[in-house]
Structure 1
């Protein structure tokens, strides 16, 4: 299995103290955390994108450019590029620039986004979000793979022999599709033979499993090579302590604060994928996707979810409200005590030399557990 650290760059005040991290400090920490993720041997670092709420990831390509300048090995990604909101011409230009700056260490994840307030903010009709996603994706594919693109669509002006610059570093970089609540994203991915990343953050695993199963069925029905049907999985947050009981108690104030803050949005009770299905930290740990516990318990849980999903990529996030030294400790322990143990149990060709669609500038290295022969 391969491992990714994702930061959507949430920046709400601390639920207990009320203190907020200054934006300059929060953004600087994203870059420093990416540098640390490379140091400890994680495969990938991803930056989210949102345009509403207490979030600082409205310009993810700027952040990725800063990370590209500070790193040399780790794969860079997005989580997700909210393609329904964006002009594909600018997306092609911005991301190809990151691809060049990183010398071919870029793959991206696209989606419609999970923040409804973004659409009116940017003057777009949320009822057309899937139309925007499909059309923008198909145009983005053309712009990345071809020069002098002539194109006509429904939601943006036509193009006549358009060429976006810079070009990608070594041909089009791979595009994954984010999957959270609907069949549309997995069907679009399957149609084009692309991989998916299941959000796996707020709902019971069965809800995500249905979409993953549909993706594999549709992928096979389209006649694509199953060797490229990679699946990634998110998680409900990562927190480690010596024992699971300690982890639950230490993480409780932050988890309860996140639930309370989400409740302030007053989403409809049936708003699937907008609010967590797990009201308490105990529920999130016992029945949900939260990776909170001892390293041994987190290993067990990742393997348990792998038995359901069969995923190749595990994406994790560390809450920014932890003190920086505590964030670093969690990340180092995860890299040293969880990653190699899981990799000893679960193999994948993703990002290895056998993966001929991987980013041109990146090849993954599997770590060996301490004490293994």
Structure 2
């Protein structure tokens, strides 16, 4: 099993002052967390894409490029790239460049995105968002694979023998399809034989398990080998401590702050108490043994081989945040790595291509 730490770069008001801190400090936290994730042995670090309050993740390629310069081993994920909002040509240019700058450490998780404010910002409607997502992905993946692309597109100007540079480092890049509630993204992933990443953060397990079962059914429908399926899954929270009592005590203020934020924002509340949240959500809160057991129970339903946890302290003190991640990596991850297989594809970056020898300099020059 492989493990990612991800951030959506949420920028909420400070509970004490009611005001958000400086944005540049929030970005600094993201960079520090990426360095910590690599130091602790996480396999990947992901940055989301949102174009509305309270997120600062509107330019994930810029953030990931900076992280690429600060790290050497960890894979870099988007979580998710909102292709329904983007011009696929411009998205290709950005991500192909990032692929080079990271020495082929890029993985993409794509999705239509959500939130009415960002749909309005990009003039995307609920009726056309899935069609936009599918068209953008088809063009994006062709640009990554083909030197010249002709496409009679509906949502951007048509392409005629278009050459788009730079040509990519990884050929092709691995693309996961982020899925929260809709079968459209699941079907798109299965159609192209791509891996699926279940959000798995808002509800109990049942709707996510149903979508993953549907993905496996559609995978078979499109004629792909079941052995090639790869599924990732998110978590709604993480705090690992020596005992369950210690974990609940430390995490309770975080849960209550998140609950107050949901209610103030008019968001639906699914879990009213911390105890219900720990019992029925995907949150990993408890002792190492409890966390291992819960991941195994979810694996029985999902068959997932990649797991993401939150990279941010999210209200925990810096010391508790680091202690939790260290305990996860020292006592939880090694057990799960032994018991649950890796995805059925290479994880290491693509090998560097040899640099062509310079042309000989004519005599007399």
Query: Same fold per TM (> 0.5)?
Result: yes
- Give the 3 Å change call, closer, same or farther, for CA 246–198 of structure 1 in structure 2: same
- 3-state secondary structure, aligned to 2:127: helix
- Give the 3 Å change call, closer, same or farther, for CA 112–182 of structure 1 in structure 2: same
Kindly indicate whether residue 59 of structure 2 is the aligned counterpart of residue 59 of structure 1. yes
Aligned pairs for 1:160-309 within 5 A: 160-267=160-267, 275-309=268-302
Tell me the alpha carbon deviations over residues 122-154 of structure 1, each in whole angstroms, 9 at most, x when there is no partner: 222232110110110101011111112111111
- TM-score, normalised by the number of residues in structure 2: 0.92
C-alpha separation in 2, matches of 1:333 and 1:17: 31
Match of 2:108 in 1: 108
C-alpha separation in 1, matches of 2:177 and 2:116: 19
- 3-state secondary structure, aligned to 1:109: strand
Q: Is the 8 A contact 1:105 1:361 kept in 2?
A: no
C-alpha separation in 2, matches of 1:361 and 1:231: 25
Range that drifts further, 300-309 or 211-220: 300-309
- Give the 3 Å change call, closer, same or farther, for CA 358–210 of structure 1 in structure 2: farther
Q: Is the 8 A contact 1:170 1:360 kept in 2?
A: yes
- 3-state secondary structure, aligned to 1:45: strand
- 3-state secondary structure, aligned to 1:130: helix
- 3-state secondary structure, aligned to 1:181: coil
Match of 2:361 in 1: none
C-alpha separation in 1, matches of 2:241 and 2:17: 22
Range that drifts further, 340-349 or 105-114: 340-349
Counterpart pick for 1:360 among 344, 350, 360: 350
Structure 1 gaps of 5+ residues are: 268-274, 363-373
Q: Structure 1 residue 356: deviation in Å?
A: 5.2
Tell me the alpha carbon deviations over residues 163-188 of structure 1, each in whole angstroms, 9 at most, x when there is no partner: 22112113120100001001000000
Q: Structure 1 residue 320: deviation in Å?
A: 3.1
Q: Structure 1 residue 237: deviation in Å?
A: 1.2
Q: Structure 1 residue 343: deviation in Å?
A: 1.3
Aligned pairs for 1:30-109 within 5 A: 30-109=30-109
Tell me the alpha carbon deviations over residues 248-268 of structure 1, each in whole angstroms, 9 at most, x when there is no partner: 22212221221221223325x
C-alpha separation in 2, matches of 1:264 and 1:128: 30
Structure 2 gaps of 5+ residues are: 353-365
- Give the 3 Å change call, closer, same or farther, for CA 98–225 of structure 1 in structure 2: same
C-alpha separation in 2, matches of 1:222 and 1:325: 48
Q: Structure 1 residue 323: deviation in Å?
A: 3.0
Match of 2:363 in 1: none
C-alpha separation in 2, matches of 1:134 and 1:261: 33
Greater than 6 Å deviation, 4+ residue runs: none
Q: Structure 1 residue 115: deviation in Å?
A: 2.1
C-alpha separation in 2, matches of 1:11 and 1:221: 42
Q: Is the 8 A contact 2:34 2:67 kept in 1?
A: yes
- Give the 3 Å change call, closer, same or farther, for CA 149–194 of structure 1 in structure 2: same
- 3-state secondary structure, aligned to 1:232: strand
Bigger radius of gyration among the two? 2
- Give the 3 Å change call, closer, same or farther, for CA 288–49 of structure 1 in structure 2: same
- TM-score, normalised by the number of residues in structure 1: 0.90
Match of 1:20 in 2: 20
